Structure 1
Amino acid sequence: MASTKKITLKSSDGETFDVDQAVALQSQTIKHVIEDVCADNGIPLPNVTGKILAKVIEYCKKHVEMPKDADDRATEDELKAWDTEFVKVDQAVLFYLILAANYLNIKSLLSLTCQTVADMIKGKTPEEIRRTFNIKDEFTPEEEEEVRRENQWAFERNIKNAEEEVEVRRENQWASEWAFAEEEEVLWQWAFE
């Protein structure tokens, strides 16, 4: 590794981690702290527990240590395989990794973890998604019917052309955003119970 300078990171539960500067700089948040403030006494990370910070450091270290040869397809495939294994964690850890990646501004980790959740949702019915994430259905049957009626395009599989789909989505965008916001709020409440 090019950098041998160590940076001390302090988790919300008091754990400290001494990491190579190159690893710490994978986080744009930490990078800005180092640039703007003296980091000699360590960098407190009040929104990240030690357990999650250890996982984040593991991810950043692996990505720093991998050779950056753009022409090496084997290296790229190896890193993708490692990433796939890295996100095979329980849902709570996955959601905390998303929050940590967002807070620490590590775009590649945020993208990886969010894509993992998207893959868990892909192709599932609302009922299956609720079961997967243990989400209570807080809609009354009448409210659910209203959302389905207002967002009929989302429940139809055979829209004849893309232009029609775009127009329907534009007309019902506010309803879609409302329904998504309701589901997202329930999901995040579940993640922190």
Structure 2
Amino acid sequence: MTDLPLVEAFPVAPATVDPVRFRTLMSTFPSGVAVVTAMDPDGHPRGMTCSSVCSVALDPPTLLVCARRLSPTLRAMLRLSLFAVNLLHARARATAELFASGAVNRFDRVRWHADPSYGGPHLVDAAHAIADCQITRTVEAGDHVVVFGEVYEIEQCAPAVPLLYGLRAYSSWQQPEPELS
């Protein structure tokens, strides 16, 4: 492993970009949609829709998710150091909207399965793939927390077209039309 030199930090000017403008900017960058789930210590399921999911490393297999600092799902993730990332398929828009809504009964309205070996509940009808993760690190970033998770198990549910979110709308992957020569 090579030690990389640290870049000298320069003073940063205070943020001048309005949060609404920043949200508009990021809405033009589409991403896949996931529901991040965890069990709280009392055995209650928690979950939230998340488009801030990113692969970090292959060795060990690591991903990151970003969660609002006050999220009950984040609290459950941190208490047990476990979570699951349910990657949603294109037919799971209703599940994405449900878990983004904050509805307290969301787990009563979807089919899910929990097992002691899972990082969190698996949304069996909505996910095309699920990664079970062990938390290895967290970083506070403004009003969110970046959670790094080492993936210890993957469940491929079924081949499917992924659900996407961008321009403040859900969509799905479409094959591009051939280019004209």
Q: TM-score, normalised by structure 1?
A: 0.22
Choose between structure 1 and 2: higher helix proportion. Answer: 1
Q: TM-score, normalised by structure 2?
A: 0.23
Taking CA–CA contacts closer than 8 Å with sequence separation of 6 or more, which of the two structures ends up with the larger relative contact order? Answer: 2
Choose between structure 1 and 2: higher strand proportion. Answer: 2
Say which one has the larger Rg. Answer: 1
